[in-house]
Structure 1
Amino acid sequence: MDLNIEPIDKKKRDISKMVNELVRLNFAWWKNQGDPAIYEAFCTRLNELGSESIEVAESCFLQLNFWAKQHGYEYQRLHRFQIRLLIAEVVIDIKVNDYDYEFYLLVNDKPRRLFKNPADIEPWIENELLPSLK
């Protein structure tokens, strides 16, 4: 069975093609009694289908909230399009553009970085921003 999945061009995503691929992988998984390679291919395709949805972004923001509270930072959801993190004297605003699926990060009201993937925000804050503030 050929499990090679070709990435679908994000700009020309054909949703019906993606759903058909998911159905094909689901049938293959049942025929092969839960083959892990098929499961991994299915999850990869499913992630690609929903990678640019506001639901995925909201899930990342929930994880960011948990991370902030775990480290003693303050997380505020100001409204649908803005999140604020307070880390000591530093104010980090995340502006959400759900039309183009972009996330603008401002540090103390100064534009700092643009993210296309909301899951990249927390590692960037932890690994690049916080060390530069110390």
Structure 2
Amino acid sequence: MKMLAGGAIAVVLLVFYVLLVHSAVHVVNCVSTSGCTGATVASFNDVKSQAMSVLGGLVSALIISELAITKPGEAPAARILAAASDRAKNVFRWTTWLYVGAWLVTGAWAFWTGLSHPSVLPALTSVGQSWLGLAVASAYAYFGISPANG
């Protein structure tokens, strides 16, 4: 039951993060397009900016911590279902990789949009740049790479 609740919380955090990034990208695209009056920078208020940043950090921390203890080539959190059926393991593996994929795509989207229009919505630019650093840290953690010593 504890695992199910933790998984549900993780999914809800990811969904809100994706929705906030989507909203921020929509604002940037609208503001950057002449004649668009559907969204303004003011419509993406400080609370949304802070929530997007916090949720991005929480989802990233979850992914980095899981990838850090996962052996390369294995699905993150596979150790949880050690005694489960092959079908359950397969569903869990797909779900986990979809979660990581959603985080990767959303972060890359925020990063690219922030590069293209850095001054329109600074909160999105910051989230995208933070995501890039955290994505690199995730890759280092998952593949067991350590920086070369001097």
Structure with the higher fraction of residues in strand conformation: 1
Structure with the higher fraction of residues in helix conformation: 2
Q: TM-score, normalised on structure 2?
A: 0.31
